[in-house]
Amino acid sequence: MQHQSLSGNVSKIKPDKNWRIWWMLLRPHTLTAAFIPVTIGTVLALPSGQINIWVFLAMLIASLSIQVATNMFNEYFDYVRGLDNENSVGIGGAIVRNGVKPKTVLYLAYLLFIFSALLGVFICISSSWWIALIGVFCMAIGYFYTGGPLPIAYTPFGEVASGGLMGVGLVGISYYIQTGEWNTNIFLISIPVSILIGAILLSNNIRDLEGDKENGRKTLAILVGRKRATDILAGFFLAANMLVVLFIALGILSPWTLLVLFSLVKSYIAVREFKKKSIPKELMNAMKSTAQTNTIFGVLLTIALLLDYFV
């Protein structure tokens, strides 16, 4: 699809609004999906007594950079395929609303990948070169999420890909690069984190269900319908918290971890909004509440792990 009317550039935009354009392109409300797993994986490594703050910061910045690049690829490829327009909800809108050249967004995404790779070299030197292979895989998923001939975002596997990679993947890597080892408990603890990251994507797909269907996507939300997708979202929230309770009963986590149950308040708000409304603009608060659920859960889990270590 051609977009001749949108060939302007950012120089035509008022200078005082420039920073807002780039800030929205980052999709900041989603960035805790990278921040939370890296932090949790590092905190879990505290008992080893081998925490390297520079490795932690490198991992954190690299993970955030890959996620931001993924968001930019999303912005670019959805534009190229004609999915986004100036009235689209939930996008950064740098291209379709603010006149930023599509290639600028694409090249920035590539630059962020290169920057992440350089940080990855430092992480590998400090831990293991096997991390390089994992890093390449992570970047490939980020690119092919909306890029390539069959984007992951167009299939029912988006929640699994994003949740698994950023939950189990980032928690496990963050733990490994600090300790040089990995165990089953780390994997188990990362599962609730994965579920809630997957919930963010599911909430996005519920909101965009009608538009995605018109553009040929086959997301989980489209396949099961809005009502069942909302029920699945509620199930995600419940499962993440019930797994924590189970892990406490099994002695994998301490009773401090019951703090995460407070996140259910925000998840209830999200589900209630999705059940009551269906217009994309009216569902922005529901999606925001879903992202906040992940943030609150992650912060409370981090606090609980720190209390268990220090108290």
H helix count then E strand count, the chain: 13, 0
- What sections of 45-129 are H helices per DSSP? 53-80, 102-126
Tens digit of pLDDT for each residue in 34-52? 999 999 999 999 999 989 9
Mean pLDDT of the chain: 90
**Which among 91, 23, 68, 257 has a CA at the least distance from the CA of 166?**
68
Residue 8 scores a pLDDT above 60: no
186 CB burial (10 A radius; 0-12, 13-18, 19+): buried
Q: Taking the CA atoms of 269, 206, 200 and 172 in sequence, report the sign of the dihedral they define.
A: positive
Contact between 253 and 247 under an 8 Å Cβ cutoff? The reply is: yes
Whole-number Å distance between alpha carbons of 239 and 60: 27
Structure confidence at residue 201 (pLDDT):
94
- Torsions phi, psi for 71 (to 5 deg): -60, -40
Domains and CATH numbers, the chain: 8-310 (1.10.600)
Using the 8-state DSSP alphabet, how is residue 166 labeled? I
Residue 286 scores a pLDDT above 50: yes
Tens digit of pLDDT for each residue in 139-179? 999 999 999 888 999 999 999 999 999 999 999 999 999 99
Report the percentage of the chain scoring pLDDT > 90: 75
Q: What mean pLDDT do residues 43-69 have?
A: 96
Tens digit of pLDDT for each residue in 199-223? 999 999 999 998 888 888 899 999 9
Q: What mean pLDDT do residues 275-297 have?
A: 93
Three-state DSSP state, 274 = helix
